[in-house]
């Protein structure tokens, strides 16, 4: 009987030792999905305060400008991302507030879906495969979650609507520069993210979520160099792309004249310069090129020259845990917008005065007073010049 009693006393000890042996023998292995993270942000706007002209609009930047515009969810994005293998990075970003027209709001649409395939141990050399941002223009690559002004400038953003397309891109940046790119975003200095020191890619050329319409992919190349000196960080860059853009038939007015195959030369070059706000900052870019544009003299879409850019200054103020960044931005553009009806012709002169306030890490409020002068003409709407002023407000939550 006493032997049975001793066995019962020793049984828990033996069981614990067996569990420990199993733990030591077979450690838990992490799965690829354990390495995924989720983040996102949402932006809600109102543009009608102190408005002087309800006919003033901006189709590419914000469909809630002007007449009948009200409270508007500009973006609602959830991002799934992670280094699922030491050489494989995954990034998926849908937007649940896409607006295909002024009377159709808050549709779900894919923005990004790509993988980065590293070819060395530090992933300094990598290939990005899928739908992602085109490495053309600092502000185009800068996330709207980080950008100061509510909308991107017309000149460089007219190159790629929604900034994205489907293709394959090669990026190179040494380890220390990749770390710097990351810190410029994480430290709140309004960085563009890591798109390499050198970039080269081929892509469809019809912009995100649109099928390829010819057999001639676009090509893009970019070279940039961020550099630290004393307490300042500056970055200068140059980029260019070339291809043939097919004007979609759905965007053509009845009666407008075009070339037979609708394939138009589409090429640009741009220079960028950024002095990051520590505490004073400057951001400026300028582009030249040629592309499709409506010509009201001939009632036709023709390859025409284009040019334009912007300059923005700001000042970073931090008091305890709150951040205030006042800014001033001026932009100019003279050229076509190939994505809009009849490759709409534009001449833009805008001045924006505003400030971003971050009382908490998870909340931002932007107030943006816009003084705008815009000529935008297509076959249906000729001799259309609109000017006006309006106060715009955006609340943003980060999670």
Kindly give the parts of the chain with pLDDT less than 50.
Answer: 1-23
Whole-number pLDDT of residue 179: 97
Whole-number pLDDT of residue 27: 55
Q: Pick the closest to residue 306 from 272, 283, 285, 332 (CA basis).
A: 332
Whole-number pLDDT of residue 119: 97
Q: Alpha carbon 317 to chain centroid distance?
A: 25
Q: Is 37-398 a domain of CATH 2.40.160.10?
A: yes
Is residue 126 within 8 Å of residue 137, measured between CB atoms? Answer: no
Helix (H) or strand (E) holding 372: strand 363-377
Segments making up each domain of the chain, as ranges: 37-398
Measure the CA–CA gap between 315 and 279, rounded to whole angstroms: 5
Whole-number pLDDT of residue 22: 42
Q: Pick the closest to residue 48 from 396, 368, 391 (CA basis).
A: 391
| pTM of the entire predicted model | 0.90
Q: Alpha carbon 147 to chain centroid distance?
A: 9
């Amino acid at each position: 009987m006493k032997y049975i009693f001793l066995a019962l006393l020793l049984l828990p000890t033996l069981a614990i030792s067996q569990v420990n042996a199993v733990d030591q023998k077979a450690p838990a292995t992490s799965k690829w999905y354990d390495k995924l993270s989720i983040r996102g942000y949402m932006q809600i706007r109102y543009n009608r305060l102190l408005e002087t002209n309800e006919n003033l609009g901006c189709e590419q930047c914000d469909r809630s400008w002007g007449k009948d515009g009200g409270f508007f969810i500009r973006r609602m994005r959830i991002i799934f991302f992670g280094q699922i293998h030491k050489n494989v990075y995954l990034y998926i970003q849908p937007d649940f507030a896409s607006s295909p027209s002024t009377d159709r709001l808050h549709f779900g649409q894919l923005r990004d879906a790509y993988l980065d395939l590293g070819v060395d141990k530090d992933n300094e050399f990598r290939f990005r495969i899928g739908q992602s941002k085109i490495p053309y223009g600092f502000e185009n690559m800068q996330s709207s979650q980080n950008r100061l002004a509510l909308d991107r400038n017309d000149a460089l953003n007219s190159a790629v609507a929604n900034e994205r397309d489907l293709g394959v891109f090669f990026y190179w940046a040494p380890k220390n520069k990749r770390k710097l790119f990351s810190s410029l975003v994480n430290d709140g200095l309004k960085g563009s993210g890591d798109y390499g020191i050198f970039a080269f890619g081929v892509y469809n050329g019809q912009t995100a979520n649109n099928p390829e319409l010819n057999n001639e992919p676009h090509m893009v190349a970019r070279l940039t160099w961020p550099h630290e000196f004393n307490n300042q960080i500056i970055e200068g860059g140059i980029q260019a792309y070339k291809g043939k853009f097919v004007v979609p038939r759905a965007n053509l007015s009845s009666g407008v004249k075009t070339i037979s195959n609708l394939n138009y030369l589409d090429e640009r070059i741009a220079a960028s310069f950024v002095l990051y706000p520590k505490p004073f900052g400057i951001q400026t870019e300028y582009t030249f090129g040629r592309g499709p544009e409506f010509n009201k003299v001939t009632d036709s879409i023709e390859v025409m020259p284009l040019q334009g850019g912007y300059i923005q200054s700001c000042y970073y103020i931090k008091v305890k845990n709150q951040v205030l960044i006042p800014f001033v931005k001026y932009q100019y553009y003279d050229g076509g917008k190939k994505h809009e009806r009849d490759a709409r012709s534009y001449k833009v002169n805008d001045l924006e005065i505003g400030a971003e306030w971050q009382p908490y890490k998870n909340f931002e409020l932007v107030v943006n007073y816009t003084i705008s002068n815009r000529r935008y003409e297509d076959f249906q709407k000729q001799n259309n010049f609109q000017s006006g002023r309006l106060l715009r407000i955006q609340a943003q939550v980060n999670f």
